[in-house]
Amino acid sequence: MKASRIAAAAAAAGTAVLALSAPAFAHVSVQPEGTAAKGSYAVVDFKVPNERDNASTTKLEVTFPTDHPLASVMPQPLEGWTVKVTKSKLAKPLEMHGEKIDEAVTKVTWTADGKGVEPGFFQKFPLSVGALPEDTDQLVFKAIQTYSNDEVVRWIEVPQEGQEEPENPAPVLQLSAAEEDGHHDASAAEDASDDKSGTEQTAAASSDSTGSSSDTTARVLGVVGIVVGAAGVAYGVFAGRRRSDA
């Protein structure tokens, strides 16, 4: 009886944990592929989960910050989606690579050509962006998610430090410290290549370590099996002798 009560309490606690953690995964969010260093270029992914059981996500609109405009925004082709990049004139021109830029991207819109993001799935929408500003630690992107049943969810509430997360938080991209060498594009590509090589080497080392560990485990189990078998034989012989003496 006591064991069943403990099991029931554990199950209830697990359900509560899942219920509390679920909303954190349901928000539209943005994360860099690698790093998003100040003053450099980066590839970022807007992750869009489908929160509905009876409708698909068919449209995503992402509004770019006007206080820190980005002159270069390039979407990656995404099968099943049409993408539109909207630019607007800047009140204060930017200077990039010695040239003045008088317009910047203010919105990117993805529209599904087919079923979109169906219930139980999520979709990543990648963009190459830059140059990232050097005078802020984060960029806030406001997003609007539209479902096939015409429901609209506005992820536009800006999270405030020290306060609880709002119900519909806007995606926030955290920026890392600026790169020191100044060759942002080249170093980013080089770092990505190095990271890939490092990952492959780590995976190989992990594989060797796993194989070695598996061999050791197999040997130990083999020895244990032999000992147990020998003990069984000895017990059988001893039992047989006892029956013979009786």
Alpha helices in the chain (DSSP H): 2-26, 184-245
Least confident of 12-16, 123-127, 136-140, 148-152: 12-16
55 φ/ψ angles, rounded to the nearest 5 degrees: -155, 155
Average pLDDT over residues 212-225: 48
Q: Is the pLDDT of residue 157 over 70?
A: yes
The confidence band for 214, taking pLDDT boundaries of 50, 70 and 90, is very low
The confidence band for 41, taking pLDDT boundaries of 50, 70 and 90, is very high
Residues in the chain: 246
The confidence band for 145, taking pLDDT boundaries of 50, 70 and 90, is very high
Calpha distance 231→169 (Å, rounded): 65
Beta partners for residue 87, in sequence order: 105
Calpha distance 155→152 (Å, rounded): 10
**Quick check: 69 and 90 in contact, CB under 8 A?**
yes
Q: Is the pLDDT of residue 122 over 50?
A: yes
Nearest to 188, CA basis, from 74, 32, 73: 32
Q: Is the pLDDT of residue 40 over 80?
A: yes
Check the CA dihedral 87-74-47-35 and report its sign: negative
% of the chain exceeding 70 in pLDDT = 62
68 φ/ψ angles, rounded to the nearest 5 degrees: -135, 75
The confidence band for 93, taking pLDDT boundaries of 50, 70 and 90, is confident
Check the CA dihedral 220-221-226-231 and report its sign: positive
Q: What is the mean pLDDT of the chain?
A: 75
Q: pLDDT per residue over 22-38, tens digit each?
A: 344 578 999 999 999 99
Dig out the tokens for 67 from the structure.
Answer: 């206080």
* pLDDT given at position 180: 67
